Structure 1
Amino acid sequence: MIKRLTLISASIALGCLATIGPVLISVYVASKDAESRDREELREFANKAVMRAELVTYQAFAALSDLDRIPGPVCSPDRLHQAARVVYNYRYVQDAGAYGDGHYLCSPLLGDISTKNIALPPPDYRSADGYLVWFRQKSPLSDVRKDIQIGRNGNYVSVDSGSYVDLIDPARRPIAAIQITTGTLMAISPGVDPAEMLDAWKYGGDVKSDQWYYAVAQSATRPLGVVVRSPRGSVLGDWPKVLATWLAVGVVVAAAFGWLVYRRITRQLSFPATLEWAIARRKIDVVYQPVVRLADGECVGVEALVRWTLNGRAISPDVFVRVAEDNRLIQPLTDLVLEKTLAQLVSLLVANPAFYVTINVSAEDLSSLRFLNRLDASLAGTGIAPQQIRIEATERSFMNHDTTRGVIAAFRAAGHPVYIDDFGTGYSSLAYLQTFEVDVLKIDKSFVDTVVQESASSVVAPHIIAMAHELNVEIVAEGVESAAQAAWLRERGVQYGQGWYYAKAMAAQELVRWIGQNRAQAHTRASADSQPTL
């Protein structure tokens, strides 16, 4: 009996082992594969970080070379002017000037300070080819900021240390830049322990940690190195649940899960994912460009324009709006513009019932009543009238005639005027326009640019104006940049214009101030026009 129980127990144990063994092996292999992928990805990121460090250093050396070639006395006005051009030419250079006998002499930012005896301490490092480096040099202009300063032959440049570690990375992995010869930490991401990153550099990234992976990379041309860090994966950290899942659904589901994880990781590193992140966290800004009445120059409304600044760099709307359209992000982007516009302009719109704002929509926004329903719900209780929120759509948004026609009619029935934006750049014709009921045509800037010129395209604007008059719709001319253009348009019956001649796009607070000035000027002109002439 005992032997039988022992045999049964052994069989059960062997059966469990035969069942569990492949699963455990698969989990182990999966964990090692994930670790290998993470480490390889981190090594690639380290190589990108080295390329950034090389670029920043190259610009500093190139700027020094340009300074060496500037003729004339060291601190003469002409030389300082040329030094300012050098600073402008190199993105990562903050200042460029001259020093001598242990003192600052001059720079475009400091001016000529040769008589002020502002001390420049001995450099932290001297290279074999004559370059001097101060790793954390406090600027005479700031009590807080410390830059990397590189000098040679009596000239120096200042570089923000953050430039070495400021990479676009949705994962926000920390970076440390190191001068290899001295082992000095040149720059590090905020909130990271310098001693930890230096220790990781010392051991070539081979640091045992339950939390982090490390990777190092070294420049092939300069004594520069970087350390990067990312969180460790935890495939085995919750092994009972992982084991139960594998036993229940098998290897196929686990393989599919691994594929989905891989796709998710690669997507998180993409530009569309970064844009999705920015929209979700309301990192997209809205600015407003005034629309003025050409007859008297008074501002009657504004166009809401979307802007995105990523890591200090402005991303062109032509780029990220198209990415949003191609990745099903355009509706969340339009919703965010509406939300911010109403929040920022509610007081202005309620106080001025005749004032309006136009919001650009896409073909996807015109494919259903979704955005109209959201717009009307957003206006409820605000005191903003429907006619104060107007809709702009480009001609290519009208491709699906039947659906778009119904949605546009619904917008107009709800009290929201509809504009055709960039008119003349698509497939516009009188017959095409007669199938849609719209309120305003906007003449594209490319045609406005030619209205006072003798060119082949200068005949387009008059045709568009005539077409609008034929349809009895109003006209807004985009891109007005001169008084001559404004006068030409006004003489031909164009009612409204927008462009740099009147004002650039601006934030909401600046807009309120500008409108006050505009109305004061319009009142002054009206008073002058009403005075009798002698």
Structure 2
Amino acid sequence: MSRFRIAAFVLMMSALGFLAGVVAGRHIELGQVDDKLHGHNARLLAHALRVTQEGQRLMAAATHGAGLCSDSDVATLRVLLFNSLFIRDIGRTLGGTLQCSAAWGELPEPVPLPPPAFTLASGLQLWVGAANIVDRRIIGDMSAYRDVVVFTAPGAFDGFPEPGSGIDAKIVTRDGQHVYRRFGRTHDLDLGRDASIGWGLAPERQAWACAPDEQTDLCVVSRARSDAWFQLPAMVLSVAGALALAFLAGLCVLWRLHAGSAKTELRRAILGGEIKVHYQPLRQLATRRLTGYEALARWRARGRDVSPSLFVPLAEAMGLGRALSRQVTSQALRDLHERLRENPALYVSINVSAADLKDAGYRNFLMDVVSERGLSPANVALEITEGTPLSDGHVLAMVKTMRGKGFKVFIDDFGTGHSNLNYLAEMQADAIKLDRSFTRAIGAEDAGTLIVDHVIDISRELGINLIIEGIETEEQASYLLSRQPSAVGQGWLLGRPVPLENIASD
């Protein structure tokens, strides 16, 4: 073969490698844009669901035993509003007029509601970008159902889309006919269900996602453009050809494996018994006498402690929540059974989730492990998060069954979810645990102190024991002791969570 043919062959192969690199790089660039869109949609949809569910939860929780817009009724609305992240106000309606709200109190004159932007099949009415009906200088979204109206905070969606992302997006109903929120230029952005949208090397990419629950009429559609052909992947691949493409694919695989490493480590920790349990004392406020311990899961990964607020939800999302719960339960009763037998008045409280309460085998597991350790059900308290869905018949039946067997039942984080008397009446709990966010407000925020007083009054009226979390100062303890001498306290002032070898004995 002549030098000319060799040169031509080399040149041709270089050109093919260059073109293959350009095309492959373009595909990678557009794949990154697609990933960015799908990631944005997932985050925006998850956030929209949180905002929607908070409004729905407040509506469901806003039952009132007293008269409409009475002082007690307004106080209940303020308790609900205090805990909300995305709701600016909550009010009562009657005959198409606003009667009172948590922010404005009882209005001197009822204020008519404007016609809604649209009404869902469920009867939920929505107003989008409407002027506040009490003060028109305030613009925001509203939703109303029956006699409750909630006002979404204007900044509920701050940060969407992410700055500099170049993404246009909107939140719509499933049929695309009604728009909840707009982000960027969306006048010609429609909810597409054709999988070919954004196919090939087209510069405009579009993606959509809908709530997995068909009962939630919520979808997100977004788009972004990518006109540049010579981004970094294209330049690298056009120079290095197929070898560089294989190298980048290997890096992509490594990146994917690294992204899943946290789940892998957590799965190994739970299934391998590497989760540790620490114990925080609960004490009578009046005497500082020990009444029990709360068992708290702890995980250390790569030399660092991981917050339970991060790994517990991750475990539940991975389908390992029940395994984690059973491991903590077994460990706690193995560690404390001698102390509990020596002092039968003590108990250990264990957090249980909705998945535990739906598990038909959980009751037998708990009865077996209690019996194996020579304990009685009264030595165990089940802490049930207030957000647990008692509308589920299986959950409520399990709660009543466990209480009938002699187990104590506490409502954990009280005030952060379904703060209403119906919840307490259905649950028939032995105690409510006031969330630490209210304790921190004592002496610092007038509204927070009023809410604490209101919860104390509720516990007295219903004859339910009160456990107060997050006590960190003597001033907080003194105030709570003066208001509820029989209360039980928990917090750093009374004892920090510690491993078994450092546990308090009195």
TM-score, normalising length from structure 2? 0.48
* Higher RCO by CA contacts (8 Å cutoff, separation 6 or greater): 2
TM-score, normalising length from structure 1? 0.45
Q: Which has the larger radius of gyration?
A: 1
